[in-house]
Amino acid sequence: MTIVLGIESTAHTFGVGVATDEGKILANIQKIYRPAKGGIHPREAAQHHAAKAAEALEEAFKTAGIKPSDIDAVAFSQGPGMGPCLRTGATVARTIATVLGKPLIGVNHGIAHIEIGKLVTGCGDPVVLYVAGGNTLITALINKRYRILGETLDIAAGNCLDSFGITAGIGPMPAPEIKAGEGDTIYELPYRVKGMDVSFSGILTAAEKLLQQGKPIPNVCLSLTETVYSMLTEVTERALAMLDRSSLLLVGGLARSRRLYNMLETMCRDRGARVYVVPDEYAGDNGAMIAWTGLLMLRCGATLPVEQSHVKPRMRIDEVEACWSS
């Protein structure tokens, strides 16, 4: 049996996962940095990760019931993400790999979200909507590469909702979506869809302006979530139509949103497609997804010499050849 250890540290989560070649997740430990107020400060998050690393690793080995020497490779998220956070995870991974004399694998964080989604939902050949705090894109595997069909032209959908929640004083997601449940009026916000691309920064500014005008927070939340999710659903439908595919996979932190799922479900039902959603425990950033994708990469020998294992804060998913795909 092949066992891979995965280390995730792109943003607020330090995660350690253990995956086997049978597709079993033996451990998935998360240590989440929660700032007292405001958004994530990269350096503070990195210090949190460094402080929690040993504890998380110990818990992961204990939960998985394995010894460090049982693992066959060490995978880490190489990018995209916040530089200081990425470097902390990479340092931990390099250290373990070097000490144990095992190969190192640099995993693309976005691809890991997708591959864990495919593993746990069992959906075949989908169009993927990957929405999270730091990323928003629509992609599909075409000729062994995740091609970006559409993406945000500025900030991520999750970032837009989180920032608004923090400004409004209710906190990041899921607070804005919960508050939206009390709203009853939809105000006009910019709806920016360009082909299969979306833009959210104008919406955020407009929503914050509504707050300054004294509009009730629940109504602004409702307007914001409805607009953002409608845009995401629309571009996803366009991608399904363009590639003529009938399955959709929703991954990333925003996969936990019930309203977004509902919209996608309605859209898919109307066009005879099916939507698969990653379960909550694998929706946010986690180590299991890095371990599992590392395992896939190990199968086709995509290991990384330590001297070439620098992190890539702006790494794109289409940089990586999906050598494990058939």
Partner 1 sequence: MLEQLDFLENRVIRVGAEAVIKEISWKGLRLVAKHRVPKRYRTAEIDERVRRSRTLHEAKILWHLSENGQPVPLVLFIDLANSIIYMQFLEGVELRSHQSPLRYAERLGEIVASMHSMDVVHGDLTLANILAGEDTGLWLVDFGLSAFNADLEEKAVDIHLLERSAASAFPDKSREFMHLFLRGYSRVVGREKTSEILEKVKEIRSRGRYVVRG
Distances (CA, A) of 119 to 22, 91, 115, 290, 292: 10, 28, 6, 12, 9
162 is in an annotated binding site: yes
111 vs 130: CA distance, rounded Å: 9
Distance in Å from the first CA to the final CA of the chain: 22
If one asks whether residue 181 binds partner 1 (CB under 8 A), the answer comes out as no
Nearer to partner 1, 41 or 192 (CB): 192
Size of the site for partner 1 (CB under 8 A): 27
If one asks whether residue 208 binds partner 1 (CB under 8 A), the answer comes out as no
300-319 footprint of partner 1 as x/- string (CB under 8 A): ------------------x-
Interface of this chain with partner 1, residues 126 to 165, rule: CB under 8 A: 142, 147-149
Residue 149 Cβ, how far from partner 1 at the closest point, in Å?
6
260-299 footprint of partner 1 as x/- string (CB under 8 A): --xxx-xx--x-----------------------------
Nearer to partner 1, 63 or 230 (CB): 230
Q: Tell me which stretch binds partner 1 (CB under 8 A): 35-43, 161-169, 240-248, 279-287.
A: 240-248
Q: Tell me which stretch binds partner 1 (CB under 8 A): 31-39, 222-230, 279-287, 302-310.
A: 222-230
* Buried b or exposed e, range 193-205, using 16+ CB within 10 angstroms: eeebbbbbbebbe
If one asks whether residue 242 binds partner 1 (CB under 8 A), the answer comes out as yes
246 is in an annotated binding site: no
Nearer to partner 1, 116 or 161 (CB): 161
Residue 271 Cβ, how far from partner 1 at the closest point, in Å?
8
112 vs 120: CA distance, rounded Å: 12
If one asks whether residue 41 binds partner 1 (CB under 8 A), the answer comes out as no
What would you report as the CA-atom Rg of the chain, rounded to the nearest whole angstrom?
20
Nearer to partner 1, 260 or 296 (CB): 260
199 is in an annotated binding site: no
If one asks whether residue 233 binds partner 1 (CB under 8 A), the answer comes out as yes
* Residues annotated in a binding site: 109, 113, 130-134, 162, 257, 285
Q: Which residues bind partner 1 (CB under 8 A)?
A: 142, 147-149, 186, 188, 191, 194-195, 226-227, 230, 233-234, 237-238, 240-243, 262-264, 266-267, 270, 318
Which residues are part of a known binding site for Fe cation?
A: 109, 113, 130, 285
